[in-house]
């Protein structure tokens, strides 16, 4: 059976969007890894392209909040299945007012303001000292820009994603700081996911859709009991729901171009210095032979 070279990491129950388009999963399972059990992985085929779908936060509801997603187990499982390239679908808030709810953004850089999560597969090992420019795979980004620029939604081909830990939302003062530092978006899911993917030498690029303006960007009264407590208006929520409904229709046409990228990018060679030094061998599974620490 051919290996899935591509994976989509996305929102709650993302595999159901592909089921609704008539695709049937060829296999679905969770996997035990040295870092715990992964979320369920669903394998699909589209135009002879085999790809995996994994939902970060749960299958039937928002079961695991951002700081408690087991990114290491999820990425290890995808790598073990044969995945080489990851499209990360995520839903940040906008710091830059030019990026409206319902817009698509393809970040080109990260401002990391997070804390506490496992940031590496190699704690206390002397490994993982990896350059972070470009932080996202340049080949995948070019394929995404070309594919999504022809779509029905406003596309911003670059932006700085500010990563926070959560699960709480940010304060107005924090958002003001991130804006001064050059942040365009704020969210909780790309970090440490992207940094861990790079340690596994995976190509990784995000597709973001803006779900609200960040705290303090717009004057929005507090509304108890609704999503984001009033940060998004009903009209903005409606635009966001249009993007969410189009998720699979946006992703599927991207897969042929993403599959065709030649991987002449730096991503497959990010750990090469450690191979040349003899710290790690050619079998990536053996990189984790030492005791795993939380």
Q: Which two tokens stand for residue 102?
A: 């319902």
CA separation for the pair 268, 265 (Å, rounded):
7
Q: Any idea which residue has 């990391």 for tokens?
A: 112
- Is the CB of residue 26 less than 8 Å from the CB of residue 10? no
Alpha-helical segments (H) within the chain: 15-19, 71-81, 138-148, 172-180, 193-199, 234-245, 247-251, 255-260, 272-277
Domains of the chain are 6-288 (3.40.50.1580)
User: Residue 161 has what pLDDT?
Assistant: 98
What's residue 292's pLDDT? 47
pLDDT block averages, 10 residues each, the chain of length 294: 92 95 94 96 96 94 91 98 98 98 98 90 92 97 97 96 95 98 97 97 98 96 87 95 97 97 97 96 87 47
Residue 141 dihedral angles phi and psi, to the nearest 5°: -60, -40
Please tell me the distance from the alpha carbon of residue 98 to that of residue 95, in angstroms, as a whole number: 9
Residue 174 to residue 181: CA distance in whole angstroms = 11
User: Residue 255's closest CA among 10, 52, 49?
Assistant: 49
240-258 b/e (C-beta count within 10 Å ≥ 16 → b) = beebeeebbebbbebbeeb
> Please, are residues 214 and 99 in contact by the beta-carbon 8 Å criterion?
no
Collect all residues with Cβ–Cβ distance below 8 Å to 191 and sequence separation of at least 6. 110, 112, 114, 117, 163
Give the helix ranges, DSSP H, for 133-268.
Answer: 138-148, 172-180, 193-199, 234-245, 247-251, 255-260
């Amino acid at each position: 059976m051919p290996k899935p070279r591509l994976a989509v990491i996305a929102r709650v129950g993302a595999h159901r969007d592909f089921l609704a388009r008539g695709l049937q999963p060829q296999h679905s399972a969770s996997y035990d890894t040295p870092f715990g059990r992964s979320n369920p992985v669903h394998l699909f085929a589209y135009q002879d392209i085999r790809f995996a779908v994994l939902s970060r936060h749960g299958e039937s509801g928002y079961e695991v909040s951002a700081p408690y997603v087991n990114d290491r187990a999820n990425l290890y499982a995808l790598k073990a299945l044969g995945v080489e390239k990851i499209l990360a679908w995520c839903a940040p808030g906008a710091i830059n007012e030019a990026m409206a709810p319902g817009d698509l953004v393809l970040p080109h850089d990260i401002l990391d303001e997070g804390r506490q999560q496992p940031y590496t597969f190699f704690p206390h090992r002397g490994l993982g000292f990896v350059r972070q420019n470009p932080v996202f795979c340049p080949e995948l980004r070019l394929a995404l820009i070309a594919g999504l620029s022809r779509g029905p939604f406003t596309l911003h081909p670059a932006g700085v994603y500010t990563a926070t830990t959560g699960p709480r939302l940010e304060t107005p003062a924090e958002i003001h700081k991130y804006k001064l530092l050059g942040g365009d978006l704020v969210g909780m899911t790309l970090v440490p996911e992207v940094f861990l993917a790079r340690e596994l030498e995976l190509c990784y690029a995000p597709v973001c859709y803006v779900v609200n303006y960040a705290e303090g960007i717009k004057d929005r009264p507090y509304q108890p009991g609704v999503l984001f407590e009033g940060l998004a208006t009903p009209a903005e929520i409606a635009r966001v729901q249009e993007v969410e409904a189009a998720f699979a229709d946006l992703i599927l046409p991207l897969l042929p171009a993403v599959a065709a990228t030649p991987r002449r990018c730096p991503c497959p060679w990010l750990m090469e210095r450690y191979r040349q030094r003899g710290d790690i061998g050619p079998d990536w599974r053996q990189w984790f032979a030492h005791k795993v620490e939380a």
